[in-house]
Structure 1
Amino acid sequence: MNQRTTSSSWANGIVQALSLGGVDCHALFDELGLDYQALQDADARFPQDAMTQLWQRAVALTGNAAIGLNLARVMRPGAMHVVGYALMSSATLKESFQRLVRYQRIIAEGADVSFEPDGGGYRLTLAIHGDRLPAARQSAEGSLASTLAFCRWLTDRPLIPLEASFEGPTPEDVEPYQALFQCPLQFSAPRHSLLFRHADLTVPLPTANPELANLHDRFAGQYLARFTDSRITHRTRQLLCRLLPEGEPRRDAVAQLLHLSERTLQRRLHEEGTSFQQLLDDTRRTLAEQYLAQPELALLEIGYLLGFADPSNFFRAFRRWHSMTPGEYRAERLAMGSELVPRDAGHRH
């Protein structure tokens, strides 16, 4: 399973926010098995669940459940990768939010953003998704706080929303929230959101620049276009598919073909939420399902195509994946009268 990831630029923002709250993030990264130096790599990404663990440990260490609001104090364009500069060069906040919806995945894959008319205004809605761990409320609260702070910075005005809504229960101390958002607060709400006046969203931004906006759109679009292809998970899977018919690929051999050290390959796969062995297993499983959709391929032949030297190892692996033998799987699908649809190994969430 490929886990959602967060850009190093956004992770850096989280680290700065936690540091303002008195957290030793270097020690915390070591404790959680995260590479602190990777924060300086613009192309590095961290698993979403690792960010959740950061928030959880920070709250446990400080006792400050509102520590996520510190993101508002460190928010600048660079914290959002190229997206921040695209927002900054937009003509209005409305156009800026539309770009945020379009490019949010670059900042963090675990967040979904929508921006829609609501009554006489517009509502920016945020949903944070975890993988193995439910997302920390500090992540969503910090994202809303930083978004509002960024808007105030962009407009150079004391922008006040009509309403700020949070899914979590009312905190014991609401004063930090009131001081920051300066608007009616709604807790235990159906969604995390900010409701803005239409008039506030259509005022021209001082930083507007149509030429730069087009340039940043191109950069952001190119990043999204190569996002999947540039991920080491995708490149490793492509190699595995090519090498498997020659036998089970070794990790050191794959690393060499990718022009990486074995240790770097391990680290980058971990950043993307997987491991070499897990990726090998997932790739074999997906290819097995594709091959079994081709009746002309014998079961023994499929086993060898998947790099299993001993067919019995293929049968054992397949029983672990599907709790049935390859033959039973093929027969069941044929009996159902449905065509087997190959599943992409990179999209099991």
Structure 2
Amino acid sequence: MTRLPTQGHSSPPTSSTTVLASVVYGLDAFIARLGAQPVDVFSQCGLEGRLSSTPSETVLLGAYCRTLDYAASKTATANFGLWFGHQFEPRRLGMLGYAALSSSVLGDALDNLAAFFPIHQDNSIVTHSRQGETARLDYDVGDPLLHDHRQDAELTLAVLCNIIRDACGENWSPATVHFRNRAPSCTDEHEKVFGCKVLFGQETNSILFPATNLTTPMPAADGLLFSAIKDGLLQIQAHKQSVEQDFLLQVRRVILDLLPHGQPSITQVAERLGCPYWTLQRRLAASGFTHRLLVEDVRRQHALKYLRNGEHSVSQTAFLLGYSEGSAFTRAFTRWHGCSPRSWQGLDRA
């Protein structure tokens, strides 16, 4: 019987969602300018304050959001994320920023931004759409452990607004801006930053603006640069996929090692891997698996391997795959392959 994760863990679930470390650029100087000590803020929130020279280096989005919240408190700047985003130059986003800035026209820039954003930040989307005469950009984080990320949402929409202003001019303003979070105590600053009416408690974090802006040329359009940036982003994507494939292989090996002792729980597998069970659960979900489905997949694959050429009997195979009864293994095997394990062995030998 599968042992369910127990309650009362010493640490609460934490998100494993990451964002490229370019988002940290200038954060220390901005905190210092507002009168707080960056080192204290970073150490309190578990964020590394210096930038790595590696383009694919990431930081935990949860730590980044905590840093924004804590910086807001330490600097007595309630809308810290809003103001940090307002002064953040799009090129400081690294490859994602340059992918947008080197596009030919604003519409292409926003399409490219939306396409590459999941490489920049896990479990998150930027959507660019058009309805009649209105264009819109939506931003959301799909990680339920990061449901309260007001500072990050306001920062991100301010940076997206800066990308549009790069094409349309620094005095450009949207038609309206929407935020999912409740209205903070002071909203005048939001209307000052965006230059338009800002609504809170909405369904999405969105910037709405005239669709006629989409044909505006990007001042730094550069086809060769865009091609190089695109290749770099795809390399980062391939690296992330390789890391996840290696992780899945490691999880499969642990499951296979534990199966002779019975069907392993997600807690047992996580303990063997040296990570919290919720981190394992989230990384499996990002790869399209649940713990139960992966255990079954390991059993299904190795059932054939163990039975092939008569290396193991049906009862031995059932034991190695964690079945307490041979009949349970036979039912599972029949469901997977359309025949009983004994019948399959006979076909394999024929």
TM-score where L is the length of structure 1 = 0.69
- Counterparts of 1:328 and 1:13 in 2: how far apart (Å)? 63
- Alignment CA distance shift 1:208-1:228 (3 Å): same
Structure 2 partner of 1:134: 147
- Alignment CA distance shift 1:328-1:95 (3 Å): farther
Q: Do residues 42 (structure 1) and 34 (structure 2) align?
A: no
Structure 2 partner of 1:87: 100
- Alignment CA distance shift 1:157-1:77 (3 Å): closer
Structure 2 partner of 1:288: 295
Structure 2 partner of 1:235: 246
Post-superposition offset of 1:188:
1.3
- Counterparts of 1:198 and 1:45 in 2: how far apart (Å)? 34
- Alignment CA distance shift 1:98-1:327 (3 Å): farther
Post-superposition offset of 1:247:
9.6
Q: Which 10-residue stretch deviates more, 193-202 or 125-134?
A: 125-134
- Counterparts of 2:293 and 2:108 in 1: how far apart (Å)? 41
For residues 98-133 of structure 1, give each alpha carbon's deviation from its aligned partner in whole angstroms, at most 9, with x where no partner exists: 000110022211421111112312011111233534
- Counterparts of 2:331 and 2:66 in 1: how far apart (Å)? 42
- Alignment CA distance shift 1:163-1:329 (3 Å): farther
Structure 1 partner of 2:72: 59
Q: Do residues 166 (structure 1) and 179 (structure 2) align?
A: yes
- Alignment CA distance shift 1:127-1:17 (3 Å): farther
For residues 272-321 of structure 1, give each alpha carbon's deviation from its aligned partner in whole angstroms, at most 9, with x where no partner exists: x958xx99xx999765322333555567657768xxxxxxxx68xxxxxx
Structure 1 partner of 2:117: 104
| RMSD between aligned residues | 4.0
Post-superposition offset of 1:86:
1.4
- Alignment CA distance shift 1:300-1:133 (3 Å): farther
> Which protein is bigger by CA-based radius of gyration?
2
- Counterparts of 1:339 and 1:10 in 2: how far apart (Å)? 49
Report the secondary structure of 1:132's partner residue.
Answer: helix
- Alignment CA distance shift 1:92-1:123 (3 Å): same
Structure 2 partner of 1:6: 19
Letter of the 1:289 counterpart: E
Letter of the 1:151 counterpart: I
Q: Which 10-residue stretch deviates more, 109-118 or 218-227?
A: 218-227
Post-superposition offset of 1:89:
1.0
- Alignment CA distance shift 1:299-1:168 (3 Å): farther
Letter of the 1:46 counterpart: V
- Counterparts of 1:299 and 1:137 in 2: how far apart (Å)? 56
Structure 1 partner of 2:225: 212
Report the secondary structure of 2:94's partner residue.
Answer: helix
Report the secondary structure of 1:84's partner residue.
Answer: helix
- Alignment CA distance shift 1:328-1:134 (3 Å): farther
Report the secondary structure of 1:117's partner residue.
Answer: strand
- Counterparts of 2:203 and 2:40 in 1: how far apart (Å)? 36
Percent identity between matched residues is 21
- Alignment CA distance shift 1:284-1:152 (3 Å): closer
Query: How many pairs does the alignment contain?
Result: 296
Residue 200 of structure 2, aligned match among 187, 205, 210: 187
- Counterparts of 1:225 and 1:143 in 2: how far apart (Å)? 25
TM-score where L is the length of structure 2 = 0.69
Give unmatched runs, 5+ long, in structure 1: 249-264, 306-313, 316-324, 341-349
Post-superposition offset of 1:33:
3.4
Higher RCO (CA < 8 A, seq sep 6+):
1
Q: Is the 8 A contact 2:123 2:142 kept in 1?
A: yes
- Counterparts of 1:130 and 1:183 in 2: how far apart (Å)? 29
- Counterparts of 1:243 and 1:158 in 2: how far apart (Å)? 57
Letter of the 2:40 counterpart: A
For residues 157-185 of structure 1, give each alpha carbon's deviation from its aligned partner in whole angstroms, at most 9, with x where no partner exists: 42111111111222221111111101122
Post-superposition offset of 1:207:
1.1
